[in-house]
Amino acid sequence: MKLGLVVPRYGVDVVGGIEHWLRLLCEHLVSMKGWDVEVFTTCAVSAATWADELPAGDVDLEGVTVHRRRSVTGRDPRSGELGVLIGRGAAAVPESMAQRFVDLVGPVCPDVLNEAASSDCDLVAVTPYLFWPAVHATPRLGRRVIFHCAAHDEPELHLSIMREVFGAVGGFAYNSYSEQALVERTFPIAQLPASVIGATVVEGSGDPDAARAALGLNPGEPFVLCVGRVERAKGSHVLADLWRLYRQRRRRAPRLVFLGPVHEGLEGDDDVIVAGRQAEDVKWGALQACEFAVTPSAWESFSLVVLEAWLAGAPVVVNRRCAATLEHCIRSRGGLSFFDYADFESVADRLLADPALGARLVANGRSYTERVFNWSAIVDRYELLADHILARAPLRVSVPPA
């Protein structure tokens, strides 16, 4: 099997759930299944700008051939202004405005799509649904596409142009059952091959004492942790406000630490530490040491950090508005959730007062992660999906660029 991957950014320096996960999937398909895998991507590292930071050219990364090409344009700040309008009623947005929005979001990279379309790959995985490469790749590559849409219920999903984007593909690789249900009730695509593949993580190591020092904490100091990009869309700022209120009402509560790249400024204070991006060993040491980990985002299609927290021994708290992370907690019986401040206070009180409860949740979550999301199971599910798509529509033709 020869698989291609069209993705806006790719590499060990890329911090992002779906991109990180697909890099690992490509590497494991090569090592465990003997597939030939090529990646068609840009020179970007940051999704905030899509700026060309890596050199253009072809490289081999862990047996995967990576073709990096420069973008014509990156992310235009004006996309935020259009995003506000889309948020007020995406279904009513004219197609021309929707296409303009996608162009501004970027990265616009025709060379990437041209090479993917002319390749001899049997199938081409494409992700994620919202950015320029996917919007233009799926209609062009058609039934050769395994679509890792990474969808969640946000206004952009309901733009009129997305009907063609989702309807053109050969099949779907979903991260969760909730994502599949969302996509199938939004678009008439339930007849296409699909599988809930999920994702997995490789358990890392770290030193709790060294992690505390790197994060600006005192030796042995208890803390609560949030791992991921610091930006409003991820719920970071709301979580900071919730924790400040919690500390007003619970004077002895530990501090909250944000660990991850800062895309939108968030001021630290006596209640909240904004540690920025840290090394992997610091992340794993922090997960091992924290009282519990909070994933506040309402818009996730999977959330690797939930699995990472369970493997590291941290209880998990998620936003009940996020179907994917709530699904993990319900299926595993390994996490708690909140909807508003009253919920949040109750959950925090329970976990801080009852270590035995946290230990039971972690044990359940770890068992679920190891049973459902081990690499052997995932690559087998992926191979079955690929075979199903090829059997249904073994096409190697693509639509030429307009």
Report DSSP letters for 112-125, one per residue.
HHHHHHHS--SEEE
% of residues, the chain, pLDDT over 90: 82
Under 8 Å CB-to-CB from 400, ≥6 apart: which residues? 117, 140
- Residue burial 282-312, b: 16+ Cβ < 10 Å; e: rest: bbbbbbbbbbbbbbbbbbbbbbbbbbbbbbb
**In angstroms, rounded to a whole number, what is the distance separating the alpha carbons of residues 369 and 308?**
9
pLDDT in tens, 183-228: 999 999 999 999 999 877 778 999 999 999 999 999 999 999 999 9
Residue 121 has pLDDT above 60, yes or no: yes
Q: Is the dihedral of CA 150, 155, 161, 167 positive or negative?
A: positive
Residue 402 has pLDDT above 90, yes or no: no
Torsion angles phi and psi, residue 219, rounded to 5: -55, 130
How far CA 291 is from CA of 193, 255, 334, 357, in Å, comes to: 42, 10, 15, 12
pLDDT in tens, 292-340: 999 999 988 788 899 999 999 999 999 999 988 999 999 999 999 999 9
Torsion angles phi and psi, residue 277, rounded to 5: -70, 135
**In angstroms, rounded to a whole number, what is the distance separating the alpha carbons of residues 394 and 170?**
9
Under 8 Å CB-to-CB from 105, ≥6 apart: which residues? 75, 76, 79, 130, 131, 132
Residue 161 has pLDDT above 70, yes or no: yes
Mean pLDDT computed over 234-256: 97
Q: Are strands 57-61 and 64-69 parallel, antiparallel or unpaired?
A: antiparallel
Residue 393 has pLDDT above 70, yes or no: no
- Mean pLDDT, all residues of the chain: 93
pLDDT reported for residue 19:
87
Residue, of 162 and 392, whose pLDDT is higher? 162
**In angstroms, rounded to a whole number, what is the distance separating the alpha carbons of residues 243 and 253?**
9
Give the max Cα distance, the chain: 64
How far CA 173 is from CA of 113, 149, 383, in Å, comes to: 20, 8, 11
Q: What is the reported pTM? A: 0.78
Are 40 and 116 in contact, with CB atoms under 8 Å apart?
yes
Q: Residue 33 corresponds to which tokens in the numbers above?
A: 């299944």
**In angstroms, rounded to a whole number, what is the distance separating the alpha carbons of residues 49 and 124?**
25
Are 358 and 328 in contact, with CB atoms under 8 Å apart?
no
Under 8 Å CB-to-CB from 128, ≥6 apart: which residues? 18, 134, 148, 149, 150, 151, 301
Domains of the chain plus CATH, in order, are: 2-200+374-392 (3.40.50.2000), 208-371 (3.40.50.2000)
Are 199 and 304 in contact, with CB atoms under 8 Å apart?
yes
